[in-house]
A and B are shown apart, each in its own frame.
Chain A
């Protein structure tokens, strides 16, 4: 084959932009930069921000959000959503407390039963969504109410709080020599697992394909429904793990544990650059967003900003993160289009 018509020198001459340039322009980089700026500014201006105690509470608060954000990222990349996670946390806490109350005293047994319960709750979501083909938004709004209701059925208004001190202390114990809770290592390990899954396995490849075009994915041999089902199971299990941590961290199992947490998780995932329509985004940005939102919240709290204002700040950030990239793209297109060689006047005269 003659190459003259096939290879265009103007095109081959242009190499891919270097990796660091691509990284710098990315949303991930912007988030990390924003995180650093916020930390520096807040540490300099707000009393108490940047202290060891500050970081310790920051991490403790971020752990459950991050644990659930990991699978949530994958779910949203496939174009679905799970709003029932906070209620799953609540129901797991309640069952865990009740089991302890009824005399199950083995910690491993309690943990395993909790995770199984979470996986089961996720599977229920999965069945409605994949077998009956219902939209995940509707299904998980339903189970958001249902699971929370069940939590009240299990515990009522009681709080189970009499766990062995060793359990509750160990849950929040720092890594020796630091102030950082050791549980962050569990989170880190799981983040690596999810990261590898998303970026370096055939399953990760199919998640992006599903989120962009489920039809074409089916034609390429991706089991779309089966993949989604297992994602919901994983989300349930991770929410349950967050529930276990929650129970021991606060030494309290109550039916209303973690109410509203789903919004914190979804906010972090979207701010992290994952498209609500699926197909785009990644874990780096999401973890950065969890940290950024956490630092903002804790700093403003220390600055005595009322809780309402905090919500306003989070909401504004969220809207900016969703609207921002679109506005940038639209203005770019506008500008490009605005270059035709004739004026509007000539146009109307013709």
Chain B
């Protein structure tokens, strides 16, 4: 059968960096196709070529067997290709509905935009995805997961023949992923071709019929899912054997490091109280929108809170003062790396050392390469794949950007580490490395509070699982009782009803 869309021998370089070398791909109607590979393997670059964002340096793009050249994303869209990019790109000051129908708003008489029709169609799309976002609210301030859901709704609204999804699930929890998959399966059964990128193999195996593996910009293998195992795929992807197990070290919890008492921010979370001891990894689980990130942000002082107190090592933390929080030994790895985690235009080096700019200075001066050395050290520890540490972080692949955010905060040697989706978009090899690092930090006495939507990560890493539901803390489950069922039960609010 003729593939709907195919890439043949595609090369793409950015300056001296060869992102794609002889990349290949064939997408068939009625089939979901997974694209896997390590961070920086070239997956997103390939997506951008399909989407008409980049033109290939060499090679061909075939649509229904005919060579095509997309001069712009509009050309690709006209050819029936809808794309969800790895990083949401919403217009912050437009409403959610306007973002979805950007450039093709439904019109009524006199070419006026039909706002109510737009709202209705947005609600219908959200209904299919089970999303509860007000279509009229501005995109600014949406959590990264909600932004991702809006992007998904936007892509669905095209009724495309080819749906390309670059890590759409990285910020979503199980329930949202299931809904997305249900929609994707329905589209597939209607004859759409789907390209799905993810670092979560359970998802790949749940959705896809065929898998293509890439390494260092090259096509390595394509095979049917029935012939494959997770271990086999990982081996092909990395080129060696690695254990994807979380190397959790057992540690005795020490003194209480972080105490959160009755923390309330009206409309976001209510009366949240918990403690984290040194040596402990506490996971904060829940559905998207449960208020987990908001709690972490309030503790760190980004957002103000209406009631409650935060103590670090017994000392009360001033609300709304991140520099004071950092001085007290707190670190927050935020959820949205592009808006909050990194200054995209600045170099890897500058980003990685920004929170420590005073610590690295001597007499208030930054001379003699102390930043360069520190950044190089951490970039190496976290295996950041970059040509030079003086390159802007915007040129890195998504997973490598995440590593820079981690480097930035781990290098502050925090006593309390709050980490929001620590491995969002990070590949298997590095993921277990990040887990090892977290585990090791905990064994050195750091208190770790981990917000994560990835259940295996929660269950594998956490000594205790706190579950939030609609802004309230509804469960505190010790490691030996935490399993998929108990966490999901609480996260969907059923625990509270039962109690």
In chain B, what residue has the closest Cβ to A217? B343
Which one of B238, B354, B366 has the greatest number of beta carbons of chain A within 10 Å?
B354
B353 cross-chain contacts in A, Cβ below 8 A: 205
Residues of B near A213 (CB, < 8 A) are 339, 342-345
In the bound assembly, the distance between CA atoms of A16 and B372 in angstroms comes to 14
Q: With the chains together, A217 CA to B68 CA distance in Å? A: 43
Q: Which residues of A sit under 8 angstroms from B75, Cβ to Cβ?
A: 347
Interfacial residues of chain A within 189-247, with CB under 8 A of chain B in the complex: 196, 200-202, 204-206, 208-209, 212-213, 215-223
Task: Tell me whether A21 is interfacial, beta carbon within 8 Å.
Answer: no
B302, A218: Cβ atoms under 8 Å? Answer: yes
A-B Cβ contacts below 8 A, count: 135
Q: Which residues of A contact B344 (CB under 8 A)?
A: 212-213
- Chain A proximity of B429: nearest CB distance (Å): 8
B376–chain A nearest beta-carbon distance, Å:
13
Task: Report the Cα distance A201→B358, complex, angstroms.
Answer: 8
* A279 contacts B by Cβ under 8 Å: yes
Per the bound structure, the CA–CA distance linking A41 and B170 in Å amounts to 61
Give complex CA distance A204, B16 in Å: 30
Q: Are B350 and A216 in contact (CB under 8 A)?
A: no
Q: Which stretch in A2-10, A108-116, A249-257, A322-330 binds the other chain? A: A2-10
Q: Which residues of A contact B17 (CB under 8 A)?
A: 11
Does B25 sit at the interface, judged by CB under 8 A? no
Please provide the chain A residues from 1 to 32 with a CB less than 8 Å away from any CB of chain B in the complex.
Answer: 1-2, 4-6, 8, 10-12, 14, 16
* Stretch touching chain A among B26-34, B95-103, B124-132, B383-391: B383-391
Taking CB atoms, residues of chain A closer than 8 Å to B355 are 220-221
Bound CA span A215–B60, Å: 41
B120 neighbours in A (Cβ, 8 Å):
none
Bound-state CA distance A208–B345 (Å) is 10
Which A residues touch B326, using CB under 8 A? 221
Q: Does B228 contact A (CB under 8 A)?
A: no
Using A340-B56, A346-B67, A346-B68 as known contacts, say yes or no to A218 and B322 having CB atoms under 8 A apart: yes
Tell me if A349 counts as interface (CB < 8 A to partner B): yes
Given A5-B240, A341-B69: A11 in contact with B340 (beta carbons within 8 A): no
| Residue ID in chain B nearest A205 by CB atoms | B357
Structural contact, A221 and B67, CB atoms closer than 8 A: no
Q: A219 and B302: CB pair below 8 A?
A: yes
Q: What 1/0 mask marks residues of chain B from 25 to 50 whose CB sits below 8 Å from any chain A CB? A: 00000000000001000000000000
In the bound assembly, the distance between CA atoms of A222 and B324 in angstroms comes to 10
Q: How many residues of A contact B (CB 8 A)?
A: 46
- List chain B residues, Cβ under 8 A from A215: 339-340
Whether A350 lies near B16 (C-beta < 8 A) is no
Q: Tell me if B471 is interfacial: C-beta within 8 Å of chain A.
A: no
Tell me, rounded to whole Å, the shortest Cβ–Cβ distance linking A18 to chain B.
Answer: 13
- Of B66, B67, B215, most A-chain CB atoms within 10 Å: B67
From A2, A200, A280, B366 is in contact (CB under 8 Å) with A200
Bound CA–CA A126/B408 (angstroms): 31
Q: Chain B residues near A222: list those with CB within 8 A.
A: 323, 354
What total of chain B residues lie within 8 Å of the partner, measured CB to CB?
Answer: 61
Shortest distance between the CB of A227 and any CB in chain B (Å): 11
Closest partner residue, chain A, to B41 (CB atom): A5
Enumerate B292-348 residues with CB–CB distance to A below 8 Å.
300, 302, 322-323, 325-326, 332, 334, 339-346
Q: Is the CB of A209 within 8 A of B55?
A: no
B66 to A, closest residue via Cβ: A350
* CB contact under 8 A between A219 and B341, given known A202-B358, A208-B346: yes
Question: Which of B58, B64, B346, B354 lies in contact with A350, CB distance below 8 A?
Answer: B64
Complex Cα distance, B172 from A127, in Å, reads 41
- In whole angstroms, what is the CA distance A220 to B70 when docked? 40
Q: Are the CB atoms of B323 and A223 closer together than 8 Å? A: yes
Using CB atoms, name the residue of chain B closest to A214.
Answer: B343
Q: How far is the CA of A10 from the CA of B19 in the complex (A)?
A: 11
* B383 partner residues in chain A, CB cutoff 8 A: 1, 6
Q: Does B499 contact A (CB under 8 A)?
A: no
Question: Given known contacts A221-B326, A349-B66, is B16 in contact with A11 (CB within 8 Å)?
Answer: yes
Any A CB within 8 A of the CB of B18: yes
Contact among B216, B239, B302, B366 for A205, CB-based, below 8 A: B366
Q: Is B106 interfacial (CB 8 A cutoff)? A: no
Q: How far is the CB of B30 from chain A (nearest CB, A)?
A: 21
Closest chain B residue to A216, Cβ basis: B343
- Kindly state whether residue B59 has any CB partner on chain A within 8 Å: yes
Taking a contact as CB atoms under 8 Å apart, the answer to whether A201 and B345 are in contact is no
For A342, list chain B residues within 8 Å (CB): 60, 67-69
CB distance from B67 to the nearest CB of A (A): 5
Q: Does B444 contact A (CB under 8 A)?
A: no
Known: A11-B387, A212-B346. A339 touches B57 (CB 8 A): yes
- Point out the residues of chain A lying under 8 angstroms from B300, CB to CB: 219
Binding site for A on B (CB under 8 A): 16-18, 38, 54-60, 63-64, 66-71, 75, 215-216, 238-240, 300, 302, 322-323, 325-326, 332, 334, 339-346, 350, 353-355, 357-358, 360-361, 364-367, 383, 385, 387-388, 390, 408, 429, 433
29 A-B residue contacts at CB 8 Å? A1-B433, A2-B239, A2-B240, A5-B38, A5-B238, A11-B17, A16-B388, A200-B366, A201-B366, A202-B358, A202-B361, A205-B350, A213-B342, A215-B339, A216-B340, A216-B341, A219-B302, A220-B355, A220-B408, A221-B354, A221-B355, A222-B354, A341-B58, A341-B60, A342-B68, A342-B69, A347-B68, A347-B75, A350-B68
Residues of A within 8 A of B (CB): 1-2, 4-6, 8, 10-12, 14, 16, 196, 200-202, 204-206, 208-209, 212-213, 215-223, 279-280, 336-344, 346-347, 349-350
> Nearest 10 pairs between A and B by C-beta?
A202-B357, A340-B69, A350-B66, A220-B354, A221-B326, A14-B16, A342-B69, A342-B67, A213-B343, A212-B345
